[in-house]
Amino acid sequence: MKKPIQLGKGGPKKADDTKVALFDWQRWLWLLGGGVLMGITPVNAWPLAWLAMVPLWSLVYCPLSNKETVARYVLGGALWGIAYHGTALSWITGLHPLTWMGVPWLGSIAIALFAWGFITLWGAAIGLSWLGLMWIVTRRFLVTGVSRVMLGTALWCAVEWVWSSGPLYWTSLSYTQSPSNLWLLQLGQISGPITVTAAIVAVNGLIAEGAWGYSHPSHGIVKNSKTVQKTGLNQWWIRAIGLFLVLHLVGWGLYARPLVDSADNKLSVGLIQGNVPTREKLTAQGVQASRRTYLAGYNQLANDGADLVITPEGAIPQVWNTFLQERNPLLRAVVEKGVPLVLGTFVHEDIENSQTPLTQSLLTLVPEGSIGGRYKKVKLVPLGEYIPFESVVGAVISRLSPYGESLVPGGFDQVLETPLGPMAAGICYESAFAALFQGQVHRGGQVIFTASNNDPYPSRQMQQQQAQDVMRAIENDRWMVRVTNTGISGVVDPKGQLHWISQPNTSVTYLATLYKRQSRSAYVRWGDWLTPTLLAAAAVSIWISRIAS
């Protein structure tokens, strides 16, 4: 059998020629296309994710025999990652214009482009880290076939786990399936979003194995190349289709189970979407406008029979003053109406000490005229809510934040107390951090509340955050209320079904019906147990293969 031919500079070259062209435009287009397809998958093109990672997987089969092949390996992984995360996160450019903050027009463009480039490269590092780990392991051990797919799946899950534990995270592969592929998203109940990520990586890996065998039959991956050429299928593609179907059947089984909610646990929760742009509400006139908007919305919902009312993140963009709280019109309305209010505002870390740093908080205002609960935002937005290495670079970039000082994060041991029971809560960007919600539900949270601003970002960002929240509701088997400043607000049930969503950039109030729940999914009980299990299984598989060889 003739050896396969590879194209590079200078025409055809034999496959065993170790001198490989650095700029292989066909490969670069293949990787670029795969990354872009993965990037446009959130939130309405979920089927693309089951093929879009194949180009990245194909790099795993490249022999790294010299500097040129290593450079192709790294550049290829970077290209796929930049295309994926850059496409998915392009909404960050909605930061521009920042002229209302005193930033010049060109400076505003530079800031928006810097933010887009930085978070794109940070996300692309996930794929590069995965490729590096795959190279380290496969260089040391002979890993092929199923063992290679298992190893790749386990390592990708491990890398995503590391990133999700850090300060900057959004584009998990899992959110490409939300909110439309509800059958598969039910697998999140098993071990969180990493379950969905593992499914996507594994199916793409099996397809990549088949594609490699199809184009390199001499490597023995495809036992009968004539059959492959005739049918277009091979054992790996059959396995990929089979795994895809089995995963969705399991998800359908979970989705088909009826919700059993008791009338005794019924809640009427009011949402206020104020639609007060950030550039306006951070002025003295804006503070007054915000107070009027949320006071009117609260009174309306309380009169309509709400058991509790929720406002967005930073609804009142003013530091909560404990000493003057009796004069606060919202707290006075709560005392008068007798309906608790969860208010998004800024509060000193020690609420009684104005010398302590500020926090982004949700306060539960209760009819007794006091604060009955508090949640402090844990995952703060770098540069927006705090300045990394502030002592070094704070003087240079402090003007990028509308706040007078860096905020400080809350602890991981919180739950939002209300007169109706403990609730799990998240503020804006925290929607991407599944472990935050799992911990709160594990500690007794009966409903999930998320409060966000979302201004000045476009509807694509709003839809992606909604997709994140849909996953959190499913994973924790909880009803969820999403309230935002500029949209999209909504109500999600434990199956991920959207019962109501608002229109973006409108002012609206809504009275939602939902139910408190005390059930515990496998994910709530044990967290992400799948990642260490996959790593252990991959290690055992490699060990068995080594003994057998």
Selected catalytic residue, list 385, 428, 430, 475? 428
Closest C-alpha to 505, from 276, 344, 285, 271: 276
Residue with tokens 């040391």: 140
Q: CA 452 → CA 183, 216, 375, 441, distances in Å?
A: 27, 51, 14, 20
Do 107 and 90 contact (CB within 8 A), yes or no? no
Q: Tell whether the torsion through CA atoms of 392, 393, 399 and 400 is positive or negative.
A: negative
Backbone region of residue 148 per phi and psi (left: phi > 0; alpha: psi in -120 to 50; beta: other values)? alpha
Selected catalytic residue, list 377, 379, 495, 516? 377
Q: Tell whether the torsion through CA atoms of 57, 62, 65 and 66 is positive or negative.
A: negative
Residue with tokens 């929240």: 469
DSSP state at residue 498: E
The neighbouring-strand residues paired with 481 are 449, 491
Concerning whether 313 is annotated as a catalytic residue, the answer is: yes
Concerning whether 377 is annotated as a catalytic residue, the answer is: yes
Do 312 and 426 contact (CB within 8 A), yes or no? no
Do 361 and 345 contact (CB within 8 A), yes or no? yes
Bridge-based pairing state of the strands 308-310 and 11-14 = unpaired
Do 312 and 451 contact (CB within 8 A), yes or no? yes
Half-sphere exposure in the Cβ direction for 201 (13 Å, CA): 28
Task: Name residues whose C-beta falls within 8 Å of residue 453's C-beta, 6 or more positions apart in sequence.
Answer: 278, 312, 313, 314, 428, 484, 485, 486
DSSP state at residue 194: H
Selected catalytic residue, list 157, 160, 281, 313? 313
In angstroms, rounded to a whole number, what is the distance separating the alpha carbons of residues 107 and 110? Answer: 5
Do 265 and 479 contact (CB within 8 A), yes or no? no
Tokens of 426: 């998240």
Closest C-alpha to 312, from 359, 272, 340, 358: 272
What's the residue count for the chain?
549
Tokens of 111: 């800031």
With H, G, I as helix, E, B as strand and everything else as coil, classify residue 462: helix
Tokens of 271: 């949402």
In angstroms, rounded to a whole number, what is the distance separating the alpha carbons of residues 148 and 156? Answer: 12
> To which H or E segment does residue 170 belong?
none
Active site residues: 313, 377, 428
